[in-house]
Structure 1
């Protein structure tokens, strides 16, 4: 009953009390948005540029990113900066972090926004991980880990002494009871799972990672939050069947709404006090999956993630 209430609460949010116009001036702030070439990521980048942030558009496709940068400049008068990042390839992630750090000493906000949703089960990352967990969790973990020095420097340079990491999860994180480590790479156990259960597992992974990041680095000025951006019309639904799309379409909102909660976390004064919280549409604190509060599981996942990237 609790999960059903949470799902309904997140699917049918009240009118937002936070709007793009409420974002403060971001002059001097250096921000990365992963997956900023489309959907919620692009809407997030648009709002940040409008409020004078220096925004890195981190995306896999240079062509799509450059097209987005062109469109965003036409809409905002400000120009984003392309950062080539393929979250399904650990070597690409390392190169992206090195490229960023060759240009910037400080990072003030990292929006871990990109993700893949319910692709065919046989799809894997370049490093042989389940595509969803490998991209959504392993990829963002490694990117964030490499950028920790930049985030700590960003926190030290900020008047409020904080830098922020905003991790985009989903209401699907409520629909799983844990992380089966036997399904995270290409194994027989993984092949027995459906793509929707693997997606839910990856979204729970986002919340567990976010909470553990807060526990480990909160005392160094890093504020880590996770969130459900809402049920949104976006390219993420491209792998759904016609029947699934027809079923969910009546509860989908424009992508611009999906940016609100992460912009609240990443830019507002209230966001400074949201470390370790799970946020829901629109710009509210939610309860999340009780499993995400399991510090032992979060620690085990962090240890596993560290092991995956130690020899990249």
Structure 2
């Protein structure tokens, strides 16, 4: 019975976050970011695009980390028209660990410092049969394993960036979801196999978003004494191409009832990545719009976090 009531509370939290109070934060409040270097994964569309737009408007140097150069170039041209500033393309395929390493090496051949990393890219509800190049569930491999590896490879640049940042910190901001409340971890569903194929694509997505929260908290614990701030967040119900696999009728209903314009989805991660107050919330989980919340209880289980971290380290050690 206790488990039933806990799950009911999480469901209530999900619904409540679909109807947040009016935001007290706007992008106009972002301080000048001159001299700061940022990476936004998945930056050519949706929330990532709006995040880059705001960063450029406040004078950051921004790398758009995306799979498709053609799509990125189009987005960069549009951003130049809108802001007068130019983002830089960084080729990144999070579903291929060799490509992740190459992306990190390419960045570090150009820049010695990184001040803000937005782990924003993601896939949602894709067909269960889809896997990464390394055999992981596509949602877990892209949303969790790829971002973990990318972050760890970039850690030297983040630690160097901390030294030149006016607030003496580097920031890692991870885009999770309200779905993090709905499922924990099925250790047999990270890679393909009979157990994974019993799990719905919705739950596979939810476990990846829950894992994002767990990993972000572990980063905060492991690197806090080195000046790294790590925050995860639910960006809110946002009408983006992330819903490309949602059936048409259901998507239309969602648009009418719960989905917000894309710029709203960037608010919470921009607050986390740029505002001075966010330094006080290392390891925390933010909810719409730019408020401190809490995820489900298991996300704060140190034993689970350490187990997941060790598993991820094992996956990437020879890549």
SS in 1 for 2:136: coil
| Aligned pair partner of 2:180 in 162, 170, 173 | 173
1:247 shift after superposition: 3.5
In structure 1, runs of 5+ residues without a counterpart are: none
Q: CA-to-partner distance for each residue in 1:179-215, whole Å, 9 max, x for gaps?
A: 1111100111001111000000000010000000000
Which structure 1 residue ranges, 4+ long, deviate > 6 Å from structure 2? none
Equivalent in the alignment of 2:141: 134
2:307 to 274, 294, 300: 300
TM-score (norm: length of structure 1)? 0.98
Match of 1:100 in 2: 107
Residue aligned with 2:114, SS: coil
Q: Counterparts of 2:263 and 2:300 in 1: how far apart (Å)? A: 29
**Which residue of 276, 280, 289 corresponds with 2:287?**
280
Following TM superposition, by how much is the alpha carbon of 1:70 offset from its aligned partner in structure 2, in angstroms? 0.3
- For residues 77-226 of structure 1, the aligned pairs below 5 Å read 77-176=84-183, 178-226=184-232
Report the Cα offset of residue 241 of structure 1: 1.2
Q: Alignment length, in residue pairs?
A: 311
Structure 1 residue 36 and structure 2 residue 47: aligned?
Answer: no
* Partner secondary structure for residue 162 of structure 2: helix
Structure 2: gaps (5+ residues): 1-7
Once the two structures are TM-superposed, the CA of residue 41 in structure 1 deviates from its matched residue by: 0.1
Partner of 2:3: none
**1:4 shift after superposition:** 2.9
In structure 2, the residue matched to 1:17 is: 24
After superposition, the CA RMSD in angstroms is 0.8
TM-score using structure 2 length: 0.96
Structure-2 separation of matches of 1:197 and 1:244: 17
| 2:75 pairs with 1:75 | no
> What's the offset of the Cα at 1:303?
0.3
Q: What residue number does 2:4 align with?
A: none
Find the residue that maps to 2:174 and give its secondary structure. Answer: strand
> Tell me, what secondary structure is at the counterpart of 1:14?
coil
Tell me what 1:240 maps to: 246
Partner of 1:58: 65
In 1, the alpha carbon distance for the partners of 2:281 and 2:161 equals 18
For 1:311, the equivalent position in structure 2 comes to 318
The CA deviation string for residues 126-158 of structure 1, in whole angstroms up to 9 with x for no partner, is 111000000000000000000011111111111
Structure 2 contact 11–182 (Cα < 8 Å) conserved: no
Partner of 1:290: 297
Deviations 1:32-57 (A, max 9, x none): 00000000000000000000000000
Deviation at 1:161, TM superposition (A): 1.1
